[in-house]
Structures are given as structure tokens and as C-alpha cells.
Amino acid sequence: MMPDVKPIFIVGPPRTGTTLLAKLMGGGDKVLSLSEPFHLDDLLPHWALKYWFRSLLKRAGMVRVPMPRVRNYDEYFTYLKNLARANQMNYLVMKECFHELELNKPWANFELLDGFAAAGHPIIAITRHPCDTIASTLKLLNKLFFGYTGMLIRLMWPSVPRFADDEHIVRWAARNWAHFMDWARDRKLFIVRYEDLVKDPASAMMRICESVGMPYHQRMIDHKHMPPGFGGIGAPEVLFKAPKPVDTSSVGRGKNLSPDHQRAIRALCGTQAAETGYTIECPDDRPAAEGTQSRNPLQPLTAAPQ
């Protein structure tokens, strides 16, 4: 008899620990955990998506299920649940990064995620100090979307968002973080802070599992246990580097942001940060040096050159 499958979503802005949490939850009993399966469906042609699933299932020793040829979210969601059911899984964990509507499709996914929330599916909202989140986002996007790497990625995926410069990235990421926190609060989602997760993984995972009605297992925090049904796209250090114990080494990286960027983040995220227990302190609140122009962080975003 096929088991019932409970879908569980993990949602957070980019670089807030969504991939890490998806991997940890994948260590539970009878859990299929996928990192950004809906984003993969948007990015890849049908044949490439089928090949990706075939490779994942082969590595995990899992059975395949025919993939629908119709490209819509409802059919694809049904496919993912059938895939978990056919492999005797009781839980289908799906992590998706929160991208607000200012990004071009298929990167903007607010409507999709809001639909899952409206349907009553369990959603774990994960957040991280906005300065740390944006510092990490800035580093990753500069690596991926600029230079020769950026040219190659745009050749493969012409829909990749275009950012003009560091300021554009910082202001978009800050707005996206604030929008996510408003969304999570308004929908009364269970919110976990990345800092709490890495400081005490066992306690955090117990609370997370309890919030979604999923059994906690010690294997979730055992870095030597590789979840058999985990894969997708997301944080490279989680997906591709050698596994290591969860630690707090990435906490506090936002202190390396420039004072101007920190002031912009405080202006855009200060209210939501305070509601979540974060303090945004700028190391240098002096006015801009003579002869330089300090931009208003609340001014509308300008499109990057095409």
C-alpha cells in the first residue's frame, strides 16, 4: 500500500540557510528532500529536467515515476508527490528561495510561494541577519553573474537577472529580505533564525520538526550521514563540498559591508530586523566625505543595462 505523503516547504531569501535546512531535514526517516525543484522546472527544458531526476534517483537507488509532459505547477507538484509515494516516503521536503516580483521571470516566484501558503501547506520560514544575508548574496552574485562566468551563465540561461553594480544587488537583496519577513509574519509562518539553527542544531531541529508534525531523528545533525534522497540547486558549499559539522563560522560576515551599504540595509530592513530580534549597527555613521554623493537607499531601483 502506497503511503500518504506530507509536503513540507522551506522558504527563505537567498543565502539564509535554506539549502542547509533542507539537507538536515532530509536526514530524517522516509524523507525525500529536494532543493528548489520548482526553480529547476522553470530553468531546465523538459529533457534536461528528466535527466536530472534520473541521475538523482539512480544515485539514491530509488525508483522512477513517469514525468508529465504538461509544464504547469499543479502537474509537477503531483509528480513530486507521486515520486515520494512510489519510493515509500512519508515526507516530501521542498526548499525554495524567496524571490520577489522585481526580478524577471522565471526567477520571481512570489506568486507560486504565496499560493502554497494560501493552500495551507506547512511552510518553515528561515531567516538570517540581514547584513549577513546580503553580504553573502553580494559575494555569490558577483561570482556568478559578472565576468566570464556571468557570460557563460547568461548564455545557458538568458533569463538570469541583471544587476548593474554592488549597490543594485544590496538594495534588491535588502528589499527582498524585508518583503519576505513581512510575508512570513502576515501568514503566521513558523520562523527559524539561521543563527539559532547553527548554534544549537539539535534543539532547533526538534522545534522545526514539531512545528510541521515530522519526527526528529539524530541523523539529521550527523554530518557523516548523507541523506539518500537529497539534491537540487542551492548553496554550493552545502551541495558540492565535503560535509562538515554545522557551525557558527558564517555568523557575523555582514560586518565587512561598507558603512553606506549597512546604512541602506538599516533603512530598508530595520523595522523587520527589530521584530525578529536583530540589531543593525553601522560602524561609521558619519556623513559622506566632501565631494561624494550619498544615494538615498529608499529610491526606486534602476534597471541594469542590457
Structural domains of the chain sorted by starting position, each given as residue range(s) with its CATH number in brackets = 6-275 (3.40.50.300)
Residue 78 CA neighbour count, 13 Å, CB half: 10
Q: Indicate the pTM of the whole model.
A: 0.90
pLDDT, position 210: 97
| Helix/strand/coil for 255 | helix
Which residues, given as ranges, of the chain have pLDDT below 50? Answer: 288-306
pLDDT, position 288: 46
**Residue of 146, 175, 281, 208 whose CA lies nearest to 18:** 208
pLDDT, position 3: 67
pLDDT digits (tens, 9 = 90+) for 237-294: 999 888 889 999 999 999 999 999 999 999 999 999 999 999 998 766 555 444 434 4
